[in-house]
């Protein structure tokens, strides 16, 4: 009877350890929640943009993040997009000083 209870206890702890290990390894890999699948053609107001992310899959795009938290995808080949990215980078470097 004691051997049976000990066996069940060992199996239980192995199960808990295995679940913990799987959860840890899966959770340690960052996953992007949002990605661009279509691109906006409108030029955005640069003053309303606070951040951006570069993306290459499924489409080559820049995802701008506005002051309200809205994410808008645009083509990185447009001149105004390059200017906006530089402005955001400049804001980052001046805040870091």
pLDDT (tens digit, 9 = 90+) per residue, 64-92? 999 999 999 999 999 999 999 999 999 88
State how far the Cα of 95 lies from the Cα of 15, in Å rounded to an integer.
Answer: 48
State residue 32's pLDDT score: 52
Residue 64 CB neighbour total at 10 angstroms = 23
Q: Please report, for the chain, the start and end positions of each structural domain, with discontinuous segments joined by +.
A: 1-31, 46-96
Q: Which of 80, 85, 77, 28 is nearest to 53 (CA)?
A: 85
For residue range 31-76, list pLDDT tens digits in order: 456 788 899 999 999 999 999 999 988 899 999 999 999 999 999 9
Q: Which fold has domain 46-96?
A: OB fold (Dihydrolipoamide Acetyltransferase, E2P) (2.40.50)
State residue 62's pLDDT score: 96
Judge whether residue 12 has pLDDT over 60.
Answer: no
Residue 76 CB neighbour total at 10 angstroms = 16
State residue 14's pLDDT score: 46
Query: Cis ω on the peptide bond leading into residue 89 (within 30° of 0)?
Result: no
């Amino acid at each position: 009877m004691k051997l049976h209870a000990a066996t069940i206890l060992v199996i239980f702890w192995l199960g808990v350890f295995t679940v913990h290990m799987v959860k840890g390894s899966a959770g340690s890999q960052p996953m992007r929640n949002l990605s661009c699948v279509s691109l906006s053609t409108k030029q955005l107001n640069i003053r309303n943009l606070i951040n951006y992310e570069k993306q290459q899959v499924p489409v080559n795009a820049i995802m701008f993040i506005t002051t309200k938290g809205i994410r808008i995808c645009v083509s990185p080949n447009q001149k105004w997009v390059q200017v906006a990215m530089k402005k955001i980078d400049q804001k980052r470097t001046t805040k870091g000083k």
